[in-house]
Chain A
């Protein structure tokens, strides 16, 4: 491993100070500082020599591990709350089943015990050409090209939101649920605190795939605040993959619906495994609201999510698979009698 400075911060201000803001891209590749949360992404990539921070600021001593209900009904999650703790929290299992399920569908028990809310939001792509440290990769080395286009792109490459510069999926399950729920990312940096709408937090690759998120240099995520739960909603996360555990999504859906009899009142749909960011599908939501729930309707609306999809050599199957993730999830949610059973 490369040599780097290590600082352990005991509060957010101290962390931000220790981090500084002189790095161009918030601890991306060469140089700069990086916050260390669970380390399951960061240490992995440092060992692979793909991330090369000069300084690591350990934020495990920063007290950001509380989950609190705000007066307006929203749920405020500290950045250091682990994926396991969040998935098991009673407020989450009761009001945001989709989030609990998404978390539990991710990684493995050991990883979830270490992984944090902030770190999960910030996790890097699983594209093998990014991780090998050698291939052309615009994300790792801007301007070098994208080896995944024309290479092996079956599993962790997207069909939505891709560009000529980068086609890697955002790998998170948790973020897909958050995209459906609606959330705000609270950050604090050298210039103070601010809030970022979750939908704006992750950036499309465009021609700057090295810029993955809306944080400014040195900014620290302190909390993710979930929108207040929808009344009488049913929600669920469905993750499709080759093996039944310990694999990133080939396609997944996070769905929240409220029903009036058999009529869909409100719908929130987000997709994972198919997009270059956690993929909210408003066109699907709009096509569902006010309609009678039926499998035929679901099949029809699911197609709309992929109207602008681009399939690459090995991942065209994600277009029908993503639709299946939407349809099955909707069928199960609208057919189940007990709204909490989902």
Chain B
């Protein structure tokens, strides 16, 4: 590992090696033993259960809704619907104000149906089973309208609308015409659905006008703020809890209709209500990655240097909201090219509102860009690895800024070497191993590094322990653990004596767990709060009756769980606090969002070996070697786990994942875990991840840029490029299923 320019992040504290160490998750035992309480594990007294009635048409209006039979069913408490639901208010849904929701329409707001699987009624009963049985007895008549089922139908029916994140420099069109080598290709990606193991769930109750809600949420503060707008009540009267989340992949970033409905009916009924979104509706009412169509036009000069690049993307969105999948976000700055255009448009279809899914924009965008780069390299007659090395940008040309730290060339070369790229015979289909044809492919990966404002609190307590809190979340990625590492790093208190509390909106404001920014955002605030607690400790120590009453605070240094004076006298924090008769020394801190002095991005490269057995049409990914440059690695184990998990998810994106809609009526068809395919253990390749570990101290004191998303970017393209190398087939529409690779597939004789 090249740790040569590792800096010594935090001042004052010695680096006992805990930053970067592969510390096991501190929440592991709770999760393994079942003690970890997820949203639906909360069973307050007098709990009732809600179950939805979901629209079975994708477009139209509810013309008649009969609840009589349902009301007669055992255990039913009430049946809510448009005609029987409290008045609520919309959230402005502002990211800047921190009250974003993705689906701005409120549940039961009107009789309209915009997508299949939309809530049209909600039954509350004494048990889950009774609620579900009764929900099935609610009779709903629709006056159905013809549904827009996919992107092509949307574009044809009503065209597109301009989206955000567009960029232009130079004159891409003029420099395309007449260039030495050009390509003009279109890629398509399907709807993908997050499908975390834990289904969306909310448990809500009210005491004295205070709303408490345990919600499967990646952002308790934003959820609280949005609910405050929706219920028109001050945020202080709402507490959102999400101590544990069974992952989210983005689907739990923002508050969805079920959580709003749960809180609302709990207030109406004056008793706690729990709602778990059934798996089929996880495909409809809690977001998805939208379908995209992306046109890529690239041109190079005779030597293979890019002279023109256009990335024009259209994605599907709902009829209620415009969600833009910024497929060209990476295209703006990954390669050096003076003439470049990136544009995003949307088209409305009868599906629920899309939302961020792991590496939004970049994941589908880099499938297209990094496939196109291979096609361009091919057209220019240059090795795809060399082509990238020749064209990687040295500075961010879209913002005209230096990168804070960029080691993409080293990442590419090191992964290539370890993978054995030099052994690649460029001729298509030339590398055989028994019945299998071996294909090698590669792609760059890239993700923006972001850092938000953050507050945190740290206490050093008289019993020798430390306590840290922040209203961010651990969505399964290891945030609890790295916060504990940080407290331990700054205070010297061993990690097993550090308690971390997250996922409670009453703690100091912390960031949404998304965008790969939780690490870079939270750790500096935690460190600053820990240092503030140490300053407080020093004041206590040097005050009257203090353990170091004769010393100056500045002369004391932190050592071995206590303070040490210049003459070597050492006193533990516990003794200092005891002497001063304080229970704890507390520190609070606020840290700001990232500045814009540099372009902050993470980089890397994937190398993939696929094996295609044409005799049985079997395609599998055999090896993935990745090198990732994300700044400092805070926890070797959880960091590696993020990349390995993202690689596996990328294989799913490449080979399997697609929510299939019936094009006649816009209904999702494969809406369960058996038929919506993701990789299983038998699909796992050999995975080798190199973490470069160059601290980016221009970005924050820990030099960490975040690692949750970058691993999935580019992976599907590396697979597609390897598939092309093996089979000669350039698959421009995900997923790459075996039927797309087979020869001699006959014509269908029927529909």
Give A contacts to B, CB under 8 Å.
1-3, 49, 126, 128-129, 132, 134-135, 147, 149-152, 154-156, 238, 240, 242-248, 250, 310-317, 319-321, 324-325, 327-328
Contacts and interface: CB of A to CB of B under 8 A. Distances in A.
Interface in B652-683: 655-656, 660-662, 664, 667, 669-671, 674-675, 677, 679-683
Contacts of B683: 243-245
Contacts of A126: 674-675
B744 interface: yes
Interface string B54-98: 001000000000000000001000000000000000000000000
Contact of A319 (B661, B677, B680, B746): B746
A242 B658 CA distance: 12
B617 interface: yes
B620 interface: yes
9 contacts: A126-B675, A128-B669, A128-B670, A149-B750, A151-B662, A242-B655, A317-B617, A320-B743, A321-B617
A47 to B, nearest CB: 8
B382 to A, nearest CB: 34
A316 B670 CA distance: 19
A316 B745 contact: yes
Contacts of A135: 667
B677 A242 contact: yes
B669 A317 contact: no
A134 B136 CA distance: 11
Given A154-B739, A312-B748, A316-B746, A327 B132 contact: no
A71 to B, nearest CB: 40
A169 B743 CA distance: 24
B557 to A, nearest CB: 56
Contacts of A312: 748, 750-751
Contacts, number: 112
Given A3-B74, A151-B664, A242-B738, 5 more contacts: A149-B751, A242-B737, A246-B682, A311-B746, A313-B751
A134 B56 contact: yes
A325 B662 contact: no
Contacts of A310: 749-750
Lowest 8 CB-CB distances: which A-B pairs, in order? Answer: A244-B682, A317-B739, A245-B682, A150-B751, A152-B669, A311-B748, A317-B745, A128-B669
Given A243-B679, A316-B747, A328-B616, A151 B669 contact: yes
A156 B672 CA distance: 14
A156 B744 CA distance: 21
Contacts of A250: 738
Interface of B: 56, 74, 129, 132-133, 136, 280, 615-618, 620, 655-656, 660-662, 664, 667, 669-671, 674-675, 677, 679-683, 737-739, 742-751
Given A152-B660, A310-B750, A246 B738 contact: no
A320 B744 contact: yes
A319 B750 CA distance: 14
Contact of A328 (B74, B615, B744, B750): B615
B617 A240 contact: yes
Contact of A152 (B655, B662, B681, B742): B662
A325 B616 contact: yes
A243 B680 contact: yes
Contact of B664 (A150, A240, A314, A315): A150
B749 A240 contact: no
Given A151-B662, A152-B662, A243 B617 contact: no
Contacts of B747: 311, 316
A245 B680 contact: yes
Nearest to A167: B750
A3 B125 CA distance: 15
A321 B741 CA distance: 11
Contacts of A321: 617, 738-739, 742
Contact of B615 (A1, A242, A314, A324): A324
A248 to B, nearest CB: 8
Interface centre among A155, A243, A245 (most CB of B within 10 A): A243
Contact of A317 (B129, B656, B667, B742): B742
A245 B620 CA distance: 12
B611 to A, nearest CB: 12
B750 to A, nearest CB: 5
Contacts of B745: 316-317, 319-320
A313 B742 contact: no
B129 A1 contact: yes
B656 A3 contact: no
Given A152-B669, A311-B750, A312-B750, A317 B738 contact: yes
Contacts of A246: 674, 680, 682
A208 B331 CA distance: 56
B178 to A, nearest CB: 42
Interface centre among A152, A155, A311 (most CB of B within 10 A): A152
A309 B656 CA distance: 26
Nearest to A129: B669
